[in-house]
């Protein structure tokens, strides 16, 4: 087991990550696998009541001693790696609070719209909010509590411009604004993008560089600074509409950093090619939209993973691509036979993780 970054074998993993992100030819996929039920219909629905919903509160100041003990114990037990990915030191953060939304936490989290008028962010300074200040303070404290050359810290993950706008306005008002207030919406999106860039820049500036790069929230090393953000709400818009209103914001974020990881869903597959062509120095991470129902049955919320592989192959010709989903044996076989042998990663549930590892992992395994 590789415990932490001090192990010389960690440099082999870093090189594999570099090969992945820079799409070096002839390299197989990075893998991160876990099991799924052999008989999904036999899975018992959860018996416990879901936790009651409550407002998201600012995190408490970090307890340095407790953080150090928890971090050391976690790496003692789990080590640095989860297959080819790294177990990260990261800070969970509901980023909608940065623009004034109330976030409610329960069995899932959601943001309450907070829109009042098109000028509510005029003169707004995210640096003055308790959310921004506590994030930076706790990060500094964490870096002082442990050796940052031993454990991989990653930049905070935030909602992207389209997601923040949906949180602030709500879906109906956001869609209506495209037609009724296009100029005002573009101005608001520019202000939201400023807030995201300022937060990413401040947080990544606190983090150490390792071998000339940093780690993103997905557990992958890339060269330079490497924030991650989501575009979950992109499915709501046509390619032309997204390219007019939201893509310029994405481009601004990606141009501000050395590398960027963008999280998206298969429901937004109509944007995949334009994202892979327009966003500089970006890696894409796609979650295939499927769920396990309380009955234990799996339900696709769109095309099944196997049907998306031809589109994924087109994306892989343009940028690095991380695919997350429930992988049937035939789908993972088809993906590895079809996708270009460079710049992609497979993450998710398979029926027999060890069998897949034996079949498709590189000769040298790290765990």
102's enclosing H/E stretch is: strand 102-105
Greater model confidence, 38 or 224: 224
Q: Residue 364: is its pLDDT beyond 50?
A: no
154-164 as b/e, with b when 16 or more CB fall inside 10 Å?
Answer: bbbbbbbbbbb
Residue-level pLDDT at 51: 74
Report the pLDDT value the prediction gives residue 6, as an integer from 0 to 100: 96
Bridge partners (DSSP) listed for residue 86: 81
For residue 365 the two structure tokens come to 């395994």
Per-residue model confidence (pLDDT) at position 27: 83
User: Mean pLDDT over residues 334-361, rounded?
Assistant: 89
Q: Is residue 110 part of a domain?
A: yes
Residue 20 is classified by DSSP as: H
Residue 227 has pLDDT above 70, yes or no: yes
Q: Go through the chain and tell me how many residues it has.
A: 367
Q: Which residue, 96, 285, 101, 93, is CA-closest to 203?
A: 93
pLDDT at residue 365 is higher than 50: no
What is the model's pLDDT at position 85?
A: 96
268-294 pLDDT, tens digit each: 999 999 999 988 789 999 999 887 777
Is 53 inside a domain boundary? no
pLDDT digits (tens, 9 = 90+) for 106-165: 888 899 999 999 999 999 999 999 999 999 999 999 999 999 999 999 999 999 999 999
| Interior/surface letters 78-88, b for 16+ CB within 10 angstroms, e for the rest | ebbbbbbbbbb
Residue 195 lies in a domain: yes
Distance CA 15, CA 1 (A): 18
Q: What are phi and psi of 163, to 5 degrees?
A: -70, -40
Domain count, the chain: 1
Per-residue pLDDT reduced to its tens digit, 84-103? 999 999 988 899 999 999 99
Domain region containing 14: 10-45+59-360
CA distance 92 to 39: 33
The pTM of this model reads 0.93
pLDDT, average across residues 213-225: 95
Mean pLDDT of the chain: 91
The answer to whether residue 225 sits within a structural domain is yes
| pLDDT reported for residue 228 | 96
- The CATH number assigned to the domain holding 105 equals 3.20.20.210
Using the predicted structure, report yes or no on whether residue 221 has a pLDDT greater than 80.
yes
Is 51 part of a structural domain of the chain? no
Q: What angle do CA 291, 326, 334 make, to 5 degrees?
A: 140
Of the chain, the percentage scoring pLDDT greater than 90 comes to 76
> Does 352 fall in a domain?
yes
In 3-state terms, what secondary structure has residue 52?
coil
In the predicted structure, residue 44 carries a pLDDT above the cut 60: no
pLDDT tens across 66-77, in order?
Answer: 999 999 999 999
In three-state secondary structure terms, 324 is strand
What was the pLDDT predicted at 39?
52
Q: Classify residue 268: in a domain, yes or no.
A: yes
In a domain, residue 366? The reply is no
Q: Check: CB of residue 245 under 8 Å from CB of residue 185.
A: yes
Instruction: Please tell me the predicted confidence (pLDDT) of residue 280.
Output: 75
DSSP 343: S
Q: Are strands 54-55 and 102-105 parallel, antiparallel or unpaired?
A: antiparallel
Burial degree of 310 (CB within 10 A; 0-12, 13-18, 19+):
exposed
The reported pLDDT for the residue numbered 299 is 82
CA-based end-to-end distance of the chain:
5
């Amino acid at each position: 087991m590789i415990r932490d970054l001090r192990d010389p074998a960690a440099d082999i993993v870093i090189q594999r990550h570099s090969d992945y992100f820079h799409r070096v030819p002839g390299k197989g996929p990075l893998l991160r696998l876990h099991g799924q039920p052999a008989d999904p219909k036999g899975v018992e629905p959860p018996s416990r009541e879901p936790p009651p919903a409550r407002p998201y509160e600012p995190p408490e100041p970090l307890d340095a001693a407790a953080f150090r003990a928890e971090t050391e114990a976690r790496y003692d037990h789990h080590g640095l790696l989860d297959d080819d990915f790294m177990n990260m030191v990261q800070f969970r953060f509901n980023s909608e609070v940065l623009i004034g939304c109330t976030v409610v936490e329960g069995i899932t989290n959601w943001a309450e719209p907070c829109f009042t008028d098109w000028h509510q962010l005029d003169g707004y300074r995210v640096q003055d909010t308790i959310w921004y200040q506590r994030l930076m303070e706790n990060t500094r404290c964490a870096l002082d509590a442990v050796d940052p050359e031993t454990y991989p810290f990653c930049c905070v993950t935030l909602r992207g411009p389209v997601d923040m706008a949906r949180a602030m306005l709500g879906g109906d008002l956001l869609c209506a604004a495209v037609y009724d207030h296009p100029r005002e919406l573009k101005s608001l999106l520019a202000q939201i993008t400023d807030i995201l860039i300022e937060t990413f820049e401040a947080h990544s500036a606190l983090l150490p560089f390792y071998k000339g790069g940093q780690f993103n929230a997905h557990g992958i090393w890339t060269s330079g600074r490497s924030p991650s953000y989501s575009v979950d709400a992109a499915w709501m818009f046509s390619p032309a509409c997204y390219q007019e209103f939201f893509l310029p914001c994405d481009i601004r974020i990606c141009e501000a950093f050395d590398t960027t990881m963008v999280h998206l869903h298969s429901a937004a597959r109509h944007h995949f090619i334009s994202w892979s062509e327009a966003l500089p120095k970006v890696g894409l991470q796609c979650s295939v939209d499927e769920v396990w129902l309380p009955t234990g049955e799996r339900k696709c919320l769109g095309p099944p993973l196997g049907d998306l592989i031809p589109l994924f192959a087109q994306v892989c010709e343009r940028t690095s691509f991380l695919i997350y989903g429930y992988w049937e044996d035939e789908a993972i076989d088809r993906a590895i036979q079809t996708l270009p042998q460079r710049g992609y990663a497979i993450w998710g549930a398979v029926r027999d993780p060890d069998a897949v590892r034996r079949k498709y992992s590189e000769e040298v395994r790290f765990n």
